[in-house]
Chains A and B, each alone.
Chain A
Amino acid sequence: MCFSDFYFFQNCYKLFIMIEIKGLHKSYKMGSNSIHVLKGIDFSVAEGELVAIMGSSGSGKSTLLNILGMLDEADQGSYTLDGLPIKNLNEKIAARYRNRFLGFVFQSFNLINYKSALDNVALPLYYQGVKRGERIDIAMSYLEKVGLANWASHLPNELSGGQKQRVAIARALASNPKVLLADEPTGALDTKTSYEVMDLIQGINDEGRTILVVTHEHDIAQMTKRIVNLKDGLIIDDTKVNQIRALSNV
Chain B
Amino acid sequence: MFDIERWQEIFETISKNKLRTFLTGLSVASGIFILVILLGIGEGMQNGIAKQFERNAANILYVFTGVTSKEYKGLNPGRQIVMKNDDFSYISSKYQDDLEYKSSIFRIWSGLITFKNESGAYRVEGVWPDYQFLENAGMTEGRYINYKDQENFEKVVVISEKIKSDLFKNGENPIGEYIQISNINFKVIGVYTDPGGEREETRVFLPISTAQRVFGGANNIRNLSFTLEKKDNFEEALAESERFTEEVSSYLKEKHIIAPDDTSAININNTLEEAKRFYDLINMIKFFFWGVGICTIIAGVVGVSNIMLIIVKERTKEIGIRKALGAEPVSIIVMVLHESIFITTIAGFVGLIFSLALLEFVGPMIETEYITNPSINFSVAISTVFILIIAGAIAGFFPAWRAARIKPIVALRDE
Contact = CB atoms under 8 A, between A and B. Distances in A.
B321 A92 contact: no
Nearest to B405: A91
Contact of B331 (A110, A112, A127): A127
Contacts of A96: 326, 328
Interface stretch (A76-84, A99-107, A218-226): A99-107
A110 B324 contact: yes
A112 B321 contact: yes
B5 A100 contact: no
A126 interface: yes
A86 to B, nearest CB: 15
Interface residues of B, number: 27
Nearest to B324: A104
Interface string A111-129: 1101100010001101111
A218 to B, nearest CB: 25
B5 A99 contact: no
Interface residues of A, number: 30
B117 interface: no
Interface string B264-297: 0000000000000000000000000000000000
A101 to B, nearest CB: 10
Contacts of B13: 114
Contacts of B16: 114-115
B9 A126 contact: yes
Nearest to B16: A114
A205 interface: no
B330 A72 contact: no
Given A95-B327, A104-B325, A114-B16, A132 B409 contact: no
Interface in A118-172: 119, 123-124, 126-129, 131-132, 171
A98 interface: yes
Contacts of B405: 91
Contacts of A126: 5, 9
Max chain A Cβ within 10 angstroms of own Cβ: one of B13, B318, B325: B325
B317 interface: yes
A184 to B, nearest CB: 12
A108 B318 CA distance: 13
A210 interface: no
A194 interface: no
A94 B279 CA distance: 64
A66 interface: yes
Interface in B1-49: 5, 8-9, 12-13, 16-17
Contact of B321 (A100, A110, A128): A110
B5 A131 contact: yes
A71 interface: yes
A175 interface: yes
Contacts of B318: 112
B328 A91 contact: yes
A92 B330 contact: yes
B409 A91 contact: no
B16 to A, nearest CB: 4
Given A126-B5, A132-B8, A72 B407 contact: yes
Max chain A Cβ within 10 angstroms of own Cβ: one of B13, B317, B329, B409: B409
Given A112-B318, A112-B321, A131-B5, A72 B329 contact: no
Nearest to A131: B5
B322 interface: yes
A11 to B, nearest CB: 29
A227 to B, nearest CB: 24
Contacts of B237: none
A115 B5 contact: no
B5 A124 contact: no
B408 interface: yes
B392 to A, nearest CB: 22
B5 A132 contact: yes
A115 B329 CA distance: 21
A98 B324 contact: yes
A110 B405 CA distance: 19
A92 B405 CA distance: 11
A71 B411 CA distance: 11
B409 A95 contact: no
Contact of A127 (B325, B329, B408): B325
Contacts of A100: 326
A71 B324 contact: yes
Nearest to A91: B329
A71 B13 CA distance: 25
Nearest to B9: A126
A95 B328 contact: yes
B412 interface: yes
A107 B79 CA distance: 108
A11 B147 CA distance: 115
Contacts of B325: 98-99, 104, 123-124, 127, 171, 175
Max chain A Cβ within 10 angstroms of own Cβ: one of B8, B318, B326: B326
12 contacts: A96-B326, A98-B325, A99-B326, A106-B412, A110-B317, A110-B324, A110-B412, A124-B326, A126-B9, A127-B325, A131-B5, A132-B5
Interface of B: 5, 8-9, 12-13, 16-17, 317-318, 320-331, 405, 407-409, 412, 415
Interface of A: 66, 69, 71-72, 91-92, 95-96, 98-100, 104, 106, 108, 110-112, 114-115, 119, 123-124, 126-129, 131-132, 171, 175
Given A69-B324, A126-B9, 20 more contacts: A66-B409, A71-B324, A71-B407, A91-B328, A92-B330, A95-B327, A98-B326, A99-B326, A104-B324, A104-B325, A106-B412, A110-B317, A112-B321, A124-B326, A128-B326, A129-B5, A131-B5, A132-B5, A171-B325, A175-B326
